[in-house]
Structure 1
Amino acid sequence: MVYRYESDEDAFEEYPEPGSDLSVFGAGPPPPAGPSPSRFPAPSLPRPNQLSLPSTQPPPTRAEVAPPTRVDVPSAASRSQVYTSATAMEPSSRRGGGRLWQVLVGGAAVLVLLALCGLGAAALIDRNEQPAAGPTSPPTAAPTSAAPERLALDSRESDRAPLSAKELFPGKELTLTAGQPSYQVLKTQSSGSCAVAATGEVADLLALLGCNQVVRATLRTPKGDHLVTAGLFNLTDKVSAERARDRIRPLLDERKGRFRGLAAGDGTDVLSSAPARVGWQVRGHYVAYALVVREDGATIKAGDATVREILFDMIELHLSRGVLQQRAEGGTAAQPTPETSASGDDGDLPGE
């Protein structure tokens, strides 16, 4: 759709009435065709090259007409029958009108040209009057701090730094949630032999899959009615850690081995003799595990909510989201978020 703007200023009358403001020179109807009547009466004398011919006879041919030798003055009755052999020129009145129209069009074109020249000159003057802008300095990019490079935990090739007891259990107390009671750290241990933390075919399996280090500690729960030994096994790569995870469960069910608790004195011997609940989980090339017993040595019932909460605190919150997350992020990460999780397993262990 095309819109056209019209206003009263653009209106015009093609044939204005006489006496109106729009009756200007050249705006009336076009002059009639043919020669216009002269403003002054023409003389009654004939022209030398005109011939008087009778109106009742056809004009003679060129062969019949002899060139005139004398010019005769025709009578008044034959003046209307005059023919001319030369081409008649345009009347002076029409020639003058065409010339005046050309003058008007040329004048309008000159005015338009002068107006355009004036606008161009004004633009140049305005541009010259504006102060010259000084050299602009290139924008400087805001310094951005490089994001810390994440450490791949899929194998010892990329994660070569060994574990340490200080990395896993830096103090005498372990607080997992702000405002909540802390676990009391009773004893820590770091060993290059994974057999110190397992027995039977479980220890053999860990050694076969390349386990070269175990770091663990014994802690007392905030309520003081449970003891827990928790730690990390350092295996060759993620594949070997996942194989260990899948094989541990049937070995425990068949009583072919078990995880060992770490006695820390002061009534903690039940860690090696009382029935226990154990859980484990894989992250990268590590196997995280925890073993829980009642401090009084009593049997733990299946589905005990308190024991499950202890296993979750040690394996998921502390070892996976805390220790290993900080290791993957170069030790700069804060407390891990609850969204991160990994699959784990648990089972009952009979006392020795």
Structure 2
Amino acid sequence: MVYRYESDEDAFMEYPEPGSDRSVLGAGPPPPAGPSPSRFPTPSLPRATRVAPPVAAREPLRAAPQEPPPLPDHARTAAEAQSPAPPSEAQSPIRPAEPPMVPHPSPAEPPPVEPPTSAEPSRSAGLPQQRRGGGRLWQVVVGGAAVLALLALCGLGAAALLAERDKNPLPTETTQPEAAAPGDTETQALDSRDTDAAPLTAKELFPGKQLVVADGEPAYRVLKTQSSASCAVAATGEIADLLGRLGCTQVVRATLRTPDGDHLVTTGLFNLIDRANAERARDRIRVLLDEREGRLRGMAASDDSAAIATAPARVGWQVRGHYLAYAVVARSDGEAIRSGDTKAREILFDMIELHLNRGVLERRADGGTAGQPTDEGVDDTRTQDGND
């Protein structure tokens, strides 16, 4: 082989001896391993800028290629001699920039992970946190709506149950009698003499000489009062017999003159055994009056009031508890009362409903206290002649 020496310095190179530490006699320390640097200048080229891929998209680190062992000096000299001369600086081709060398990590240590920089945060780290936060908020909203809906349904159900219970109260399972309402207690107190054993008195029904049935209204003048254990004194014919058969033991009555003086009225209470007998008397009196088989009598106080016992009259009655309330109205001059006379009907209402029912019997049912009046009015009215 022929060697071409480019300089005088190359001519004195010789093969090193085996085992020698020096490639040239008299030279300094051995050259560093690897290819020898080129003696010809290489144009400086700008290094291509490469955009580093994101951390999530980077490929796993690959092992760097192992460098070949360094060649002996005589082999490297032969290789440089055979290699063609490098082109001049003007004709040197542009070589692409070499990729950066990535160090191969040790098998014992895991590859380092670069943390995301503040300028460009990692998308893979931000998205899961955002999704987890949004999911929790959505769960809270849905859960709160469900709780509100459940509470609303419970409230509606409870209101419906309470309304239904008020309409149809459930029967109690206890064997003790249920406590009656105040209105029921008052009614039961007057249903029989067993619960209302105190007899009536004239002072209870007509305590004074003047009777005011409503506040602001003119007073009736009381002419005469009477209390009798014989109910027949206040009735005639079949009506008197009927009251005796049904257990009437007392009648308390009075005769009054209206504020204008045009009418007279006899009114009072029949005291029967119980409510059932009082209702039978009420129904039967209607039939007997229509058949003219008896009448309810007025009571004259003097010659000036004789018309109440003899003149044609208008009569009315009503039942409350075991009492039968009644009233007989006649004109003071003895004339017959016309069918369209509203004054006679007002007098019947004042005596039976306002005074006897809402006044006397209400106080008796309440034990002396005022109670809520009823709106029933007079059960029935009839016209009866003046013949005894």
Shared fold, TM over 0.5 = yes
Query: Paired residue for 2:386?
Result: 350
- Post-superposition offset of 1:228: 0.6
User: Does residue 95 of structure 1 match 2:132?
Assistant: no
* Aligned-pair identity (%): 57
Return closer, same or farther for 1:98/1:280 CA change in 2, 3 Å cut-off. Answer: same
Larger relative contact order (Cα-Cα within 8 Å, sequence gap ≥ 6): 1
Q: Is the 8 A contact 1:279 1:291 kept in 2?
A: yes
Letter in 2 for 1:29: A
Offset of residue 94 of structure 1? 9.0
Match of 1:241 among 261, 267, 278: 278
Query: Alignment partner of 1:347: what SS?
Result: strand
Label 1:188 to 1:243 Cα distance change in 2 as closer, same or farther (>3 A): same
Please report how far the alpha carbon of residue 326 of structure 1 lies from its aligned counterpart in structure 2 after TM superposition.
2.6
1:188 to 1:201, Cα distance in 2 relative to 1, 3 A: same
C-alpha distance in structure 1 between counterparts of 2:250 and 2:232, whole Å:
9
String of CA shifts for 1:92-141, please: whole Å, max 9, x gaps: 2893445888xxxxxxxxxxxxxxxxxxxxxxxxxxxxxxxxxxxxxxxx
Aligned to 1:176: 213
> What's the CA shift for 1:318?
1.5
Query: Given the alignment, which residue of 225, 228, 240 partners 1:203?
Result: 240
Normalised TM-score (structure 1) = 0.60
Matches within 5 A, 1:153-232: 153-232=190-269
Identify the range of structure 1 (268-277 vs 239-248) with the bigger mean alpha-carbon deviation: 268-277
- Corresponding residue for 1:29? 56
Post-superposition Cα deviations, 1:132-186, rounded to whole Å, max 9, x if no partner, equal: xxxxxxxxxxxxxx97953522222232222222221122111122212111111
| Equivalent position SS for 1:92 | coil
CA distance in 2, matches of 1:237, 1:323: 18
Q: Which residue of structure 1 lines up, in the alignment, with residue 346 of structure 2?
A: 309
* CA shift digits 1:261-289 (9 cap, x unpaired): 22222522222222222111222221111
Task: Spell out the pairing of 1:66-105 with structure 2 (5 A cutoff).
Answer: 91-92=105-106, 95-97=109-111
CA RMSD of aligned residues (A): 3.4
CA pair 30-180 structure 1, distance change in 2 beyond 3 A: same
1:91 maps to amino acid: P
Paired AA for residue 237 in structure 2: G
Unaligned runs of 5+ in 2: 1-49, 77-103, 116-180
Moved >4 Å (runs of 4+): 98-101, 146-149
The residue number in structure 1 matching 2:69 is 44
- 1:204 CA displacement: 0.7
Contact persistence 2:317–2:378 (CA under 8 A): no
Structure 2 distance, partners of 1:159, 1:344, is: 25
Matching residue within 338, 351, 356 for 1:319: 356
Provide closer, same or farther for how the CA distance between residues 266 and 347 of structure 1 changes in structure 2, counting only shifts above 3 A: closer
Q: Which residue of 2 aligns with 1:150?
A: 186
The answer to whether the 8 Å contact 2:362/2:371 transfers is no
Q: What is the CA distance between 1:321 and its match in structure 2?
A: 2.3
Residue 43 of structure 1 and its aligned partner are, at CA, apart by 7.5
Aligned residues of 1:270 and 1:297 also touching (Cα < 8 A): yes
Residue 258 of structure 1 aligns to a residue whose secondary structure is: strand
**Cα displacement (A) at 1:37:** 3.2
Distance 1:322 1:98, change over 3 A: farther
Tell me which moved more, 197-206 or 146-155. 146-155
Whole-angstrom CA distance in 2 between matches of 1:311 and 1:237: 24
Q: CA–CA distance in 2 between the matches of 1:335 and 1:32?
A: 97
Amino acid at match of 1:307: A
Deviates more, 1:324-333 or 1:289-298: 324-333
How many residues in Structure 1 have an aligned counterpart in Structure 2?
242
One-letter amino acid matched to 2:361: L
Contact 1:262 1:272 in 2 (8 A): yes
1:254 matches 2:291? yes
Letter in 2 for 1:226: H
Report the structure number with the largest CA radius of gyration: 2
**Alignment partner, residue 298 of structure 1:** 335
User: Cα 1:98–1:158, aligned 2, differ >3 Å: closer, same or farther?
Assistant: farther
Q: 1:250/1:350 Cα in 2 relative to 1: closer, same or farther (>3 Å)? A: farther
Greater CA drift, 303-312 or 155-164: 155-164
Distance 1:342 1:226 in 2: 19
* Matched residue SS, 2:381: strand
- The alpha-carbon distance between structure 1 residues 301 and 327, as it changes in their structure 2 partners (threshold 3 A), is same
Take 1:325 and 1:243, find their aligned partners in 2: how far apart are those partners? 22
Q: Assess, with a 3 A threshold, how the Cα gap between structure 1 residues 182 and 218 changes in structure 2: closer, same or farther.
A: same
Q: Deviations over 1:245-267 (max 9, x none)?
A: 11112322333222122222252
Kept in 2: contact 1:217–1:231 (CA 8 A): yes
- Equivalent residue runs for 1:331-342 within 5 Å: 331-333=368-370, 336=373, 339-341=375-377
TM-score by length of structure 2 reads: 0.55
Aligned partners of 1:280 and 1:346 also within 8 Å: no
Tell me the SS of whatever aligns to 2:316. strand
- The answer to whether the 8 Å contact 1:240/1:285 transfers is yes
Would you say the 8 A contact 1:150–1:330 is kept in 2? no
